[in-house]
Structure 1
């Protein structure tokens, strides 16, 4: 944040006053899903993380083996999570005609599970896998069956000693924190033998242009932007806040901790995401 930048801090009532009478587009990040049991990357209480980059994944077989071993554990945790009250609040705002659409940086699909219909999964989705050679897309559940066949005792070894998947630290991209992965056998594409990659935008990888254009259009389609649960550290989300500010739209940011968009906010609510979104439903749909 630039030195001396003005942050217009306020309450949920202040946020409602800004949004009331306007249609809204929402931009969400990992902080929306923490109350569902999926940790974020950058909140004050988050452990330090070094997510794998796209260049590491495509350029090094050892990195790919390490990733798929961890993902084989972590995706199950994400697959079992349920939407929380914050997800449901956004779905309700859409149902009531307040929310025009939702752009999420999350890959967990919890917005869709909560009932949101107009969702742009900016960074992809955890439940699909793409071949980098032939472009075929398969479900992550189908790949799990193949990985179980190639690594019949892997999960038993990881979960020995009474551990469950829920006991293992999992990142927002379904990457589980486990160390012994050198013996894991990744699966090649069953159609062409190519390299499989989760249909997720990695650090260092560009969001598909068509997806970005749809997100810009969704921001343009509304009268205000509501940002929830993201520090806006990466440009993939921050650009939509800058775009909204450039076009004169009011911006409400809800996040515990500083964000790169704070100087552009009409109101910044420094509070928990779930309780704030739930309160906004009551205030905006009376």
Structure 2
């Protein structure tokens, strides 16, 4: 049976080294919309199969991303990101698994971090594996498409998805660019829908979960398997699961504590309640 108060959450996590699993709801207070939160518009993200299988899909994606990545780049960590970083420094949070690609946890100061779905700021060649920064690619795309960004209007007024995809319709004529090393197909270094998380990341994430005493889900509906599997593993191995999210999640039936609340205010309340009174890393743990 789940509970519904911050006090229940504090009581559950006190004395336990907790691994956090975060989703798009963590970043809504930084101005990056989520996919499935209350009030979010319907979205149909491009799949990996569409991207690799159709040149027209790739052109459409790169045109929209060329606008949207600028919005993600200028986003700043919010109170929830800063709270998790502070909880990590205090030894309350042992690490973070994030499904987000916006790098805001890292910018907030979190260090024990696995970017499950990659990061928006790198681009990889699907043919030779060469990596380049998104900023350097932007310079090449600007040169190949002069005036395109200006033609779509103010970036601040355009709807942006969590993967830096800008909702613009006119993409005909946009010219993507190829890998400078081999002429191959370039793709953002993020995990698309229909694509698997790299095995080494999954292995590291499970190791971090096995080393923790509890799992805290923050801002994720757990709709996709890449996040839900960690909740199922925690429950299967007897670790308590706490979920903080606006709206229902696929892991609610496995939660010990479930709060329908925002991440910024809830995680800030955790800092107020636990930092200073919680054992530091290496101190005796409370048994699950």
1:174 matched residue in structure 2: 164
1:29/1:105 contact within 8 Å kept: yes
Match of 2:115 among 112, 118, 121: 121
Q: TM-score w.r.t. structure 1 length?
A: 0.96
1:277 matched residue in structure 2: 267
TM-aligned CA deviation for residue 44 of structure 1: 1.5
- What does the per-residue CA deviation read over 1:189-211, in whole Å, with 9 as the maximum and x for residues that have no partner? 01100000000000000001110
1:112 matched residue in structure 2: 106
Find the residue that maps to 1:42 and give its secondary structure: coil
The answer to whether the aligner puts 1:53 opposite 2:51 as a matched pair is no
TM-aligned CA deviation for residue 9 of structure 1: 3.0
Unaligned runs of 5+ in 2: 277-288
1:142 matched residue in structure 2: 136
1:86/1:274 contact within 8 Å kept: yes
Name the CA distance, whole Å, in 2 between partners of 1:210 and 1:155.
Answer: 37
1:56/1:63 contact within 8 Å kept: yes
- What does the per-residue CA deviation read over 1:87-126, in whole Å, with 9 as the maximum and x for residues that have no partner? 0000000011111100000000000000000110000000
Match of 1:35 among 10, 29, 41: 29
2:281 matched residue in structure 1: none
Match of 2:12 among 18, 27, 38: 18
The answer to whether the aligner puts 1:231 opposite 2:221 as a matched pair is yes
Unaligned runs of 5+ in 1: 1-6
Q: TM-score w.r.t. structure 2 length?
A: 0.95
1:80 matched residue in structure 2: 74
Match of 2:93 among 87, 96, 99: 99
Name the CA distance, whole Å, in 1 between partners of 2:26 and 2:112.
Answer: 17
2:256 matched residue in structure 1: 266
Name the CA distance, whole Å, in 2 between partners of 1:249 and 1:143.
Answer: 43
Name the CA distance, whole Å, in 1 between partners of 2:3 and 2:164.
Answer: 33
| Aligned alpha-carbon RMSD (Å) | 0.6
1:201 matched residue in structure 2: 191
Name the CA distance, whole Å, in 2 between partners of 1:151 and 1:245.
Answer: 50
2:64 matched residue in structure 1: 70
Name the CA distance, whole Å, in 2 between partners of 1:221 and 1:283.
Answer: 23
TM-aligned CA deviation for residue 10 of structure 1: 1.6
Name the CA distance, whole Å, in 2 between partners of 1:154 and 1:263.
Answer: 48
Ranges of 4+ aligned residues in structure 1 off by more than 6 Å: none
Name the CA distance, whole Å, in 2 between partners of 1:148 and 1:187.
Answer: 10
